[in-house]
Structure 1
Amino acid sequence: MLFAQQGYRVLLLEKARFPQDTLSSHYIHQPGISLLGRWGLLDELRAAGCPPIDRESYEGPGVRLDGFSLPVDGHRTTYAPRRFVLDPILAAGAVAAGVEFRESCAVTDLVFDDDRVVGVRYTTPGGAEATDRARLVVGADGMRSLVARKVGAGNVVEHPRMSCVYYSYWAGVPAGFEVYERPGRWMVAAPTNDDLTLIMTYFPQDEFSEVRKEVEPAYLEAVRSTSPELYERMSAGERVEQMYGTGHQENYFRKAYGPGWVLLGDAVHHKDSITARGITDAFIQARSLTEHIGERLHDPAALDEALKRYEEDLEDTFSDVYQGALNVAELKPEGRTEMLRKLVGHQELIDRFFSTVSGACSFDDFYNAELLAVLDQN
């Protein structure tokens, strides 16, 4: 959409046929909501019936915090839309901008001219093979990116898997945006489309082999032992979909670009989903990439410099967020909850804490003189 608005011809290939769901925590933080507003897509999301979220609660050992992230560009309300709702809205926005959109087209290979990527090969909905050439191939094709594999884009930063996650959707379980934590467990509840509530449970990675054998009992026991009150609400409701989950949550930054190609979203940077930053971060990357390229697509030297700056922005923008997600995904809340207990009664600091997760406030801005004074007093 953003490239088309700059006047470029764009072909968007999607292997799924919409509407289709995908494995996702699907929460959008304030910076992502701000970009949807800027792009003219926020009204479409609201019209799709996703409940607005304007308050968050966190319960950890010996502490409860209530508040919400600070606004970004005036947007404080957030949403957790199902992906079969969100993705068609994004695709329709691209088509409206002039993008040629083809569903049920699975990319199978890249086309090279010497060491430069100059196009893609893919299968059409009818099963035929097709080839299209392009000045730039953007691999926004996920953690298992074919584009990354074909160009040999290795990891430049990498950490072990930290957690595994299972979730499902519940009817008759009223909930706001709720987070519960104890050693070895992390729970999230959030309202989504069709009056359903998304309830997610996180376990340490080293428990994955056992949890996957008996997913539902492990899931329910995790909720019961972490938040009995949420468990009571679930007991009065009904699970209306299957259990979804994964233990394959990789943590990395990949090489972001090369001759004729660039990576975006989970293809270039993936972290544990426990802080639900994937969609928001992909939006931020899309803005960064298209702004850096601007009118430089047809100037090889200028394009290479723009892609280099995009790669540098990835590290500058997401390094702290990445480390923050890994810290939470350790599922060892003791040090963090000791600090959070000292925030009780200081609403501005509570909201700023929530803002570090959303991206509305940097970690450097959070650890300011006011916070240090409160910590010293206690």
Structure 2
Amino acid sequence: MYDVIVIGARCAGSPTAMLFARQGYRVLLLEKARFPQDTLSSHYLHTQGVALLKRWGLLDKLIEAGCRPIDRQRYEAPGVRIDGFSLPIDGQRTTYAPRRYVLDPILADGAVAAGVEFRQGCAVNDLLFEDDRVVGVRYTTPGGGEATDRARLVVGADGMRSLVARKTGAPNVIEHPRMTCTYYSYWSGVPSDFELYARPGRWIGVIPTNDDLTLLMAYFPQDEFSEMRKAVEPAYLDAFRTTAPELWERMAEGKREEQLYGTGHQENYFRKAFGPGWALVGDAVNHKDSITARGITEAFVQAQSLTDHIGDGLHDDAKLNAALRRYENDLGGEALSHYQGALNVAELKPEGRAEMLQKLVGHQEQIDRYFSTLSGAISIDDFYNDELLELLDQS
């Protein structure tokens, strides 16, 4: 019997398993894929996420994998352009956007190094219950057989379509309709910083990544998705031409190296985070529009939060229940703020934001503080301090 079984070994599951193992628990980590394997992702690590990688001792592995460092950010909308970067967290300022076939194995290797038993090619198809408590999992092995294992706690890090959420009946406690759809690809010969461009109805994201490639993402209103699917490439290219003309000129000198990837499944929700014998982390517990690229970072934060709260209390019913409740309460703080921020951006109506940012031009400290609200270095409440409010009133 294990202390903890974690289902899903990507950005939420592997760190969760690793941190539990570092606390001395016996942990089983199950993943249906075989690494390395890519997955749909904007794959940007905000400062907060990079700081956690450094804390966990995994950042050097990421740097060694050849991911380009990012230390400059641009935001451009009609009437305004600002350049700067987030303030540091725990001394860490540089960020990265590793491909998922690079990042996910690094995280899984970190879990294995901590003592986690990692099994790939294992698809969990059911939970084991005793009365109303989850006590284990049933899964298909790589050879096609069926196996079961039991644990004190089963953690679902199994994404938007979480089996753990479905089998436990975890309800959505917050939910909003889909707002955008996105298409993206990888380009060579397009030098860039971390760049964001907005106009009404469109949003462009530009992120340097591995192999001297640049991730170029275009966002559209959700109600255009069905029509766009009939002619994806023209719509994708037109978004860059009309939203970011200077970037469009750079793209003319570059080359698209991969197919276009896209999704309209931009779900927005918080689920019930725990119950008897189970907990959810990552996209299984909270997903929002990918337009702010906060998913990986928040998966890291949740892994740290869950394991910190449980600590040595896993085998004490009262301590465990209290810890899981504190974990859920944490989700209602910072994570909810970033959720609301993503919904705001996903409206694809940048006019109000652009008007505010125009007033920051020439005030570099305030520009960097604004970028820090996206990275997790500063909360929205802290951003609107007396100095900023005075500046906005004077402008």
Report if TM-score (shorter chain) is over 0.5: yes
Q: How does 1:18-37 map to 2 (within 5 A)?
A: 18-37=35-54
Partner of 1:219: 236
Aligned-partner SS, 1:153: coil
Q: Deviations over 1:19-67 (max 9, x none)?
A: 0000100000011111000000000000000000000011101100000
Partner of 2:369: 352
Partner of 1:304: 321
Q: Deviations over 1:334-354 (max 9, x none)?
A: 111000001000000000110
| Aligned partner of 1:236 among 243, 253, 264 | 253
Question: How many angstroms apart in 2 are the aligned matches of 1:242 and 1:130?
Answer: 38
Question: How many angstroms apart in 1 are the aligned matches of 2:317 and 2:180?
Answer: 42
Letter in 1 for 2:164: V
Aligned length: 378
| Aligned partner of 1:250 among 267, 271, 286 | 267
Partner of 2:224: 207
Partner of 2:8: none
Partner of 2:176: 159
Partner of 1:263: 280
* Same amino acid, percent of matched pairs: 77
Q: How does 1:4-43 map to 2 (within 5 A)?
A: 4-43=21-60
Partner of 2:142: 125
Letter in 2 for 1:318: A
Q: Which runs of 4+ in 1 moved over 2 A?
A: none
Partner of 1:287: 304
Aligned-partner SS, 1:32: helix
Q: Does 1:329 align with 2:346?
A: yes
Aligned-partner SS, 1:25: coil
TM-score by length of 2: 0.95
Partner of 1:141: 158
Q: Deviations over 1:125-183 (max 9, x none)?
A: 11111111111000000011111001000100111111111100011111111111000
Aligned-partner SS, 2:378: coil
Partner of 1:69: 86
Q: Does 1:342 align with 2:353?
A: no
Partner of 2:13: none
Partner of 1:318: 335
Aligned-partner SS, 1:135: strand
Q: Deviations over 1:269-319 (max 9, x none)?
A: 011010000000010000000010001111112111110111011112211
Ranges in structure 2 where 5+ consecutive residues have no aligned partner: 1-17
Aligned alpha-carbon RMSD (Å): 0.7
Letter in 2 for 1:284: V
Partner of 2:294: 277
Aligned-partner SS, 1:107: strand
TM-score by length of 1: 0.99
Q: Deviations over 1:177-211 (max 9, x none)?
A: 11110000000111100110000000011111111
Letter in 1 for 2:296: I
Question: How many angstroms apart in 2 are the aligned matches of 1:56 and 1:29?
Answer: 11
Aligned-partner SS, 1:283: helix
Ranges in structure 1 where 5+ consecutive residues have no aligned partner: none
Deviation of residue 232 (structure 1)? 1.6
Deviation of residue 229 (structure 1)? 1.4
Question: How many angstroms apart in 2 are the aligned matches of 1:293 and 1:24?
Answer: 29
Question: How many angstroms apart in 2 are the aligned matches of 1:318 and 1:16?
Answer: 28
